[in-house]
Structure 1
Amino acid sequence: MPADPSELSALSHARYFGSNLFLRGLLLAAGLVPYRLRVPMMGRLVTAMGRLAGFDKRVRDNLELVSPELSDLDPGALYRDVSDNAGRMIAEIYAGKPFHDRAKAAPITGPGLQALEDARAAGRPVLLATAHFGNYDAARAALVARGHEMGALYRRMANPYFNEHYVEAIKKNGEPMFEQGKRGMVELVRHLKKGGIAAIVTDLHAQGGKPIDFFGKPAVTSTVPAELALKFGAALIPVYAVRQDNGLDFEIIMNAEIAPSDPLTMTKALSADLESIVRKHAGQWFWIHRRWKFRKRKSKSGQRAKQASDTA
């Protein structure tokens, strides 16, 4: 992934620069609309744009892959909920104070809050494991507002122009920020060694990860959060920001600390924890991700093998 615009080809430079201008203009225009109207407006806009990009088909494909686990869900309704939540999240990240005020006011429930406070009292580092669910930055802002300063590991966006102001926006919810990669991991490790708190997203396809069942199908998942927790004696706590029915407020749910054992067992526990909350709020998880790449590659390999045997 290009580190800066100078590493881009002329065509990529023009494409990324143009799309960034469009998105920045859209965000600036949306900022003129009152917050209560802006957030749902961005939800509807992203829903329409995502359909043009074919994201509704990706949601349908993912849902079909895990069926009959979720056979009662309507793919069309699920796409609308997922894309609406994504659009709302974009508006919130760039909203500043109105979003921060709602995040700070969000109630925090679950045994994980006490586990966090106990770890802090004992001087232990903490890893907060979250996912592309609801608005994970709301959880971070809520905890920072309560005195739990924390860093966060993030993945650089492909568009370097958009990435620059995106990172500046999410920094306002708490610092330091660690970019995924060798340098960012070194900084994260240094932060944990000092007894710090860091948030990490655990639901992306991870190169070198382990195939762990998610809704009954193998999804390649990083064991790094569990490995870090074990190495540095950190409390590994799942946390989610659940969007409420009004579409603007949140409840921060902190589930029980993952018991120390081994990286694979702990990662399976994290995956099961996420699955349990997605079952309750399916439309708040980002079903547009290619979460089951392992399964799809395996399926294609199987098809090629079958075709070869049929023609032999």
Structure 2
Amino acid sequence: MATSIQKEPGTGGSTGDWLQDRSLRAMIWSARRLPYSARIPAFGALARSAIAPLAGHYRRIEENLDYIFPDMADADRKDIARQSADNTGRVLIENYSSDELAARSARIEPAGDGLADLEAARKKGRTVILLSGHYGNYEAARGCLIARGYTVGGIYRPMKNPYFNAHYIETLQIPGGGPVFPTGRSGTKGFVDYLRGGGIAMLLNDIYIGKGEDLPFLGKPAMTSLSAAEMALKFDAALVPVFATRANNGLDFTVEVDAEIPHSDPRTMTLAYNAALETRVRENPGQWFWTHRRWKRKWNKGAGAAPDLHPAAQSTRQKSR
């Protein structure tokens, strides 16, 4: 069974969006002419040496690293930045090679205490919310579990560039996967109905959410969504962290399924997820997407952002009060 992708209506895009999309399409098309084993490292190198510097990603990555690891040597910071850019490029082209990624993911033997929790939930027909993050390649974890008979759906945030989004959503299709819904009113309703019916879904819960709550992540306050934990409580769903860590060969992954997070309250449950992701990021910092502005502070209702913020914590509309 192919994954069902629920689409939001298109809103058009600018000439710049179109040109950006055409450039990316050309790079993806060229990369896909190569065998998989050459394609993945080649696109990682392209992202590391061309895309990241042209897009200004290195500045953002290094600001984030300086914020979290202020005592880190500059050479180490730059090395992690290059690794992160390389991994991001690999993830992009892996996800545009979904059939081949799914085939490799099917060979992974997952590990972790959460496997027993998953199996128990499946036998009961219980809803499961798998929590992952922009680390390693989350689609490898999803593909691994789908290959073992778990019909895993999800929800995705549409890309700002509508031309890119039109083909990006096709990368979410994995044979045997469950439906994937866009954020937004109609998509969220479909997603909730899917969970209510006992579905299994994967969510990435490690980006800035302005309507979230300030929770510590890697030692700094970060606006974090509590919605996954809230839904777990509402639907009596098992909340299970799962992560795919890239292997040293750059092509394969290990998949770890952590034990179910006990039901308590949304904040405590989300803190447990944050701690699980933190462990992976500290062990393999080059495998996390440091390009995200994870620690930016919420805009202060027109009064301006607080003064003297570290660049990683500044709002996109930073002003002095």
Contact 2:102–2:174 under 8 Å retained in 1? no
* More displaced 10-residue stretch of structure 1: 96-105 or 217-226: 96-105
- Confirm or deny that 1:302 pairs with 2:293: no
Aligned to 1:288: 291
Alpha-carbon distance between aligned partners in 1 of 2:79 and 2:305, rounded to the nearest angstrom: 28
Aligned to 1:246: 249
Alpha-carbon distance between aligned partners in 2 of 1:157 and 1:252, rounded to the nearest angstrom: 27
3-state SS in 2 of match to 1:97: helix
Q: What's the CA shift for 1:207?
A: 2.2
Aligned to 1:170: 172
Structure 2 gaps of 5+ residues are 1-7, 310-319
Pairs within 5 Å for 1:34-45: 34-45=35-46
Deviations 1:29-86 (A, max 9, x none): 1111111111000001011220122211111111111124866981110111101101
Alpha-carbon distance between aligned partners in 2 of 1:64 and 1:300, rounded to the nearest angstrom: 20
Alpha-carbon distance between aligned partners in 1 of 2:216 and 2:299, rounded to the nearest angstrom: 14
Structure 1 gaps of 5+ residues are none
One-letter code aligned to 2:68: V
Within the candidate set 87, 91, 96, 2:98 is matched to 96
- Confirm or deny that 1:222 pairs with 2:225: yes
Contact 1:218–1:295 under 8 Å retained in 2? no
One-letter code aligned to 1:147: G
Aligned to 2:155: 153
One-letter code aligned to 1:301: A
Q: What's the CA shift for 1:97?
A: 2.9
**What do you get for the CA RMSD once the two structures are aligned?**
2.2
Alpha-carbon distance between aligned partners in 2 of 1:207 and 1:186, rounded to the nearest angstrom: 21
Q: TM-score when scaled to structure 1?
A: 0.91
3-state SS in 1 of match to 2:130: strand
Contact 1:211–1:294 under 8 Å retained in 2? no
Contact 2:99–2:174 under 8 Å retained in 1? no
Alpha-carbon distance between aligned partners in 2 of 1:182 and 1:55, rounded to the nearest angstrom: 31
Pairs within 5 Å for 1:1-312: 3-6=9-12, 8=13, 12=14, 14-48=15-49, 49-68=51-70, 74-172=76-174, 174-294=177-297, 300-303=305-308
Alpha-carbon distance between aligned partners in 1 of 2:87 and 2:73, rounded to the nearest angstrom: 22
Alpha-carbon distance between aligned partners in 1 of 2:274 and 2:66, rounded to the nearest angstrom: 20
Contact 2:136–2:243 under 8 Å retained in 1? yes
Q: What's the CA shift for 1:182?
A: 1.7
Q: What's the CA shift for 1:185?
A: 1.4
Contact 1:219–1:295 under 8 Å retained in 2? no
Q: Which has the higher helix share?
A: 1
Alpha-carbon distance between aligned partners in 1 of 2:224 and 2:239, rounded to the nearest angstrom: 16
Contact 2:68–2:220 under 8 Å retained in 1? yes
Alpha-carbon distance between aligned partners in 1 of 2:75 and 2:200, rounded to the nearest angstrom: 37
One-letter code aligned to 1:84: D
* More displaced 10-residue stretch of structure 1: 194-203 or 114-123: 114-123
Q: 1:30 to 1:123 in 2, by over 3 A?
A: same
Deviations 1:263-295 (A, max 9, x none): 111111111111011111111111111000128
Q: TM-score when scaled to structure 2?
A: 0.88
Contact 1:219–1:293 under 8 Å retained in 2? yes
3-state SS in 2 of match to 1:239: strand
Contact 2:112–2:258 under 8 Å retained in 1? yes
3-state SS in 1 of match to 2:297: helix
